[in-house]
Structure 1
Amino acid sequence: MTASARFSAQYVAREMAASAATNAVLSSAFFVLFFGLVDPAPVKGVGGYGFDFLPQSLAVAFFASFVPSMMSGKALIAGKLPSVGSLLLYSVLYGAIAATVGGGTIALLLNTLGSPELANLPALAIKAVYGGALGAMVTRFALRRLAGLGAAQ
Structure 2
Amino acid sequence: MTSAAAAHLRNSTLISIGISMAISAAFFLLVFGLKPVISVFAPDNLTLDFIPQTLAAGFMAALMPALQTRTKMAAGSLAGAPPLPLQIAKRAVWLAVASLALAAAVTALLWLGGIETMPWGSALALKVGYGGLLGLIITPIALRAILPRG
Is contact 2:38–2:44 with CA below 8 Å preserved after alignment?
Answer: no
Aligned residue number for residue 124 of structure 1: 124
**Corresponding residue for residue 87 of structure 2:** 86
Other structure's SS at 1:88 match: helix
| Counterpart among 12, 15, 35 of residue 18 in structure 1 | 15
Structure 2 counterpart of 1:136: 136
Structure 2 counterpart of 1:114, one-letter code: G
Tell me the SS of whatever aligns to 2:145.
helix
TM-score by length of structure 1 reads 0.83
Per-residue CA distance 1:73-115 (angstroms, 9 max, x = gap): 142578913211111111000000001x101222233245432
Contact kept? 1:50, 1:108, Cα under 8 Å: no
CA RMSD after TM alignment = 2.4
Pick from 40, 43, 46: which aligns with 1:49? 46
Q: Relative to total residues, which structure has the larger helix share, 1 or 2?
A: 1
Given that 1:37 and 1:121 are in contact with CA atoms closer than 8 Å, whether structure 2 keeps it comes out as no
Cα contact 1:15–1:68 (8 A) shared by 2? yes
Residue pair 2:28, 2:124 contacting (<8 A) in 1 also: yes
CA contact (8 A) 1:44 1:110 kept: no
Corresponding residue SS for 1:127: helix
Measured at CA, do residues 70 and 20 of structure 1 come closer, stay the same or move farther in structure 2, by a change above 3 Å? same
TM-score under structure 2 length normalisation = 0.85
Please list every run of 5 or more consecutive structure 2 residues that lacks an aligned counterpart in the other structure.
none
1:8–1:118 distance in 2 versus 1, CA, 3 Å: same
Cα separation, partners in 2 of 1:98 and 1:108, compared to 1, 3 Å:
same
Higher mean alpha-carbon deviation, 17-26 vs 130-139, is at: 130-139
Read off the aligned partner of 2:60 and give its amino acid letter: F
1:25, distance to aligned residue in structure 2 (A): 0.8
Q: Deviations for 1:104-131, whole angstroms, at most 9, x for unmatched residues?
A: 2222332454322111101101111111
Q: Does the C-alpha gap of structure 1 residues 76 and 98 become closer, same or farther in structure 2, counting only changes over 3 Å? A: farther
Identity of aligned residues (%): 27
Contact 2:40 2:115 in 1 (8 A): yes
Instruction: Letter of the 2:23 partner, please give it.
Output: L
CA distance in 2, matches of 1:143, 1:75: 12
SS at match of 1:49: coil
